[in-house]
Structure 1
Amino acid sequence: MALVDIWWNNAGINRDAMLHKLTEADWDTVIDVNPKGTFSFSRQASACASAARAALSISLPPAGLANVGQTNYSASKAGVVGMTKPPAANWRKGVTVNAICPGFIDTDTTRGVPENVWHDQQIPAGYAGEAKDVGECGVSGVRWRALYQW
């Protein structure tokens, strides 16, 4: 069996709709991909994790934000964050487990968002990040012997 040193959960979809128009099918689709996909992949990867060095990084936009029309998406990403601490507590020593919440990232999907929404995101850096920024954050989050994190 091959050993896994690092795995990175990054799957995510959205099906935006105002709550009163949100269908159960759209709710289920988002839940099936975001937290359930994270669970399924993590379960498989953790079975092959190298005991002394395994690292898990879960990448997601900020969970729990009050973005218009994103009840299902926000709830699903909060679920992903909730799946981060238990593995850290289970594995403890020698294993780094992190959830990174990079904020608003300039992608094909977000380019369709109206400009006023970009400004409403209250991005601390003052500008949207790029995919490479998420990659650099992830690499930092899974480096071996990362600083004490919980």
Structure 2
Amino acid sequence: MGRLDNKVAVITGGAKGIGQAIAIAFAKEGATVIAADMGDLEYTEKNVFGYKLNVTDVPGVQMFYDDVVAKYGKVDILVNNAGITRDAMTRKMTDDQWNAVIDVNLKGVFNMTRLFGPLMETNQYGSIINISSVVGLFGNIGQANYAATKAGVIGLTMTWAKEFARKGANVRVNAIAPGYIMTDILKTVPQELLDSFAKMTMLGRLGQPEEIADAAVFLASKESSYITGQTLNVNGGMRL
């Protein structure tokens, strides 16, 4: 028996990295997974289904929601993982850089949850997991736009934990704040810089996408049935 048997899960940003790792982990635990992304989605797992989606496209998100509900009748788990970076020092940051990150990382989370959250409330059950970041908690030089969105995601998490459960529905909303995780973005970073990142952690190493996926499985399963409105830091004990 898997921990997510008979559950339907939607994951944004599912083409690679953390989103892909979560989709695979959920599938192994028995869930039917709809992995949404603008990029190509390639999975060998028979219970993972890809869907091309831009979370900033409001009509597109509505169409996606309608298609999923028509096919599956419910969604038990929503993972808001889609995110981008457009880094620059504040004095050099352009409107396009600011707006692009706000649109995907914050508005995209809102676009998804304002549809799937009420559905879960109606169905009296659900787990929403928002992927934040250590940068949302501590900030980072050159990432004012990214930090603002990831801090905003934590605010949304606490708000939605109150909203969707206020009438007694068993809908939980939590966030995960990853530290430095070895995704494709970090694979392009020089090794000496990666080593410096690792030294910032108590465990002396960078994280793997699968370690974030393990945390997501926990928050999606009944093992976390009394946890809501929380941010789980998965960062190896970062010292910023």
Normalization by structure 2: what TM-score?
0.57
CA distance in 2, matches of 1:90, 1:66: 27
CA distance in 2, matches of 1:132, 1:7: 18
Q: How has the CA–CA distance of structure 1 residues 25 and 140 changed in structure 2, closer, same or farther, with 3 Å as cutoff?
A: same
CA distance in 2, matches of 1:120, 1:110: 10
Structure 2 runs not aligned, ≥5 long: 1-68, 230-240
The answer to whether the 8 A contact 1:10-1:58 is kept is yes
Root-mean-square deviation (Å): 2.0
Q: Which has the higher strand share?
A: 2
- One of 77, 84, 87 as aligned partner of 1:13: 84
Q: CA deviation at 1:14?
A: 0.4
Report the structure number with the largest CA radius of gyration: 2
Q: CA deviation at 1:85?
A: 0.8
Report which structure shows greater RCO (CA 8 Å, sep ≥6). Answer: 1
- Displaced runs of 4 or more, over 4 A: none
Question: Quick check: 1:131 aligned with 2:202?
Answer: no
Structure 1 runs not aligned, ≥5 long: none
Tell me the alpha carbon deviations over residues 98-120 of structure 1, each in whole angstroms, 9 at most, x when there is no partner: 10112110011012334336524
Q: How has the CA–CA distance of structure 1 residues 57 and 72 changed in structure 2, closer, same or farther, with 3 Å as cutoff?
A: same
Q: How has the CA–CA distance of structure 1 residues 118 and 57 changed in structure 2, closer, same or farther, with 3 Å as cutoff?
A: farther
Normalization by structure 1: what TM-score?
0.88
Tell me the alpha carbon deviations over residues 4-45 of structure 1, each in whole angstroms, 9 at most, x when there is no partner: 100100011000011111001110000000010000011121
Other-structure match for 2:226: 148
CA distance in 1, matches of 2:94, 2:114: 29
- One of 184, 188, 191 as aligned partner of 1:108: 184
The answer to whether the 8 A contact 1:96-1:146 is kept is no
Other-structure match for 1:52: 124
Over the matched positions of the two proteins, sequence identity in percent amounts to: 36
CA distance in 2, matches of 1:82, 1:118: 32
Question: Quick check: 1:119 aligned with 2:193?
Answer: no
Other-structure match for 2:133: 61
SS in 2 for 1:83: helix
Say how many residue pairs are matched: 150
CA distance in 2, matches of 1:98, 1:31: 20
- One of 88, 91, 102 as aligned partner of 2:161: 88
